[in-house]
């Protein structure tokens, strides 16, 4: 069992300062340079429970679709979503325990660092993580509930071969996948709307 929290900081330094204040980062001395650095252990443990701090996309940069652009792949022109970087440094904080045992990360980090912010964040203490994946059944059922199944299927039909194959074959959909980004852009859905859709889909059971 695990719980994932999506956090956005002003920069990497602010992220490390906040995590250190929450007991999730430590200071180490580089044996060669003698410099003191703040690092996040991987994995780390807090009160005996494992946690992982993962920079989004490996570099802490969250890229969102902003229109489309034409690219050439092996001599074939394809339309792909144009991705733009959002300001800030983004991390996934994964708590490998039950949600009931998780510290109040939002309150702890917001208190520890004034640089902490989260786009479209609810009040501290009411933070609802975005599920990283939902099953094919959950996605289709949620789309049907909100009246988007037919528009999505029309968007898929008009998309490139890779998107059509992904939609036809995937058994689960990842929140940050290129397929989701392309379909959201085609329907004009904001990042917050896609997040809410994943939260809704995750509650559906067969």
pLDDT tens digits, 34-58: 888 888 887 888 888 888 887 876 7
Task: Note down pLDDT in tens along the chain; length 206 residues.
Answer: 666 777 777 788 888 887 887 788 888 888 888 888 888 887 888 888 888 887 876 778 777 667 777 766 566 676 666 777 777 787 877 778 776 666 666 545 543 333 333 333 333 444 466 788 899 999 999 888 878 888 889 889 888 888 889 899 999 998 888 888 888 888 888 777 788 888 888 888 87
3-state DSSP assignment of residue 3: strand
Is the whole model's pTM more than 0.75, yes or no? no
Q: At what angle do helices 149-157 and 161-169 cross, to 10 degrees?
A: 140
3-state DSSP assignment of residue 122: coil
Counting residues of the chain whose pLDDT is more than 70, the rounded percentage is 74
- What is the token pair recorded at 61? 């940069």
- Cα 131 from chain centroid (whole Å): 8
pLDDT 10s digits, 118-128: 333 333 444 46
Phi, psi of 129 (to 5 degrees): -60, 155
């Amino acid at each position: 069992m695990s719980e994932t929290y999506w956090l956005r900081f002003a920069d990497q330094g602010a992220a490390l300062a906040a995590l250190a204040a929450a007991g999730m980062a430590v200071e180490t001395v580089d044996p060669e340079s003698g410099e003191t650095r703040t690092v996040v252990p991987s994995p780390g443990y807090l009160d005996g429970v494992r946690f992982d701090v993962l920079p989004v996309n490996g570099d802490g940069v969250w890229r969102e679709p902003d229109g489309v652009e034409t690219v050439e792949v092996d001599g074939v022109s394809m339309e792909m979503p144009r991705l733009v970087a959002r300001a800030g440094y983004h991390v996934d904080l994964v708590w490998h325990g039950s949600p009931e045992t998780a510290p109040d990360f939002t309150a702890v980090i917001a208190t520890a660092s004034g640089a902490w912010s989260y786009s479209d964040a609810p009040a501290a203490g009411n933070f609802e993580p975005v599920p990283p994946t939902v099953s094919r059944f959950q996605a289709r059922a949620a789309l049907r509930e909100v009246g988007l199944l037919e528009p999505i299927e029309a968007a898929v039909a008009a998309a490139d071969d890779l998107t059509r194959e992904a939609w036809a074959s995937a058994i689960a959909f990842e929140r940050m996948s290129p397929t989701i980004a392309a379909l959201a852009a085609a329907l004009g859905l904001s990042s917050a709307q896609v997040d809410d859709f994943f939260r809704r889909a995750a509650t559906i059971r067969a």
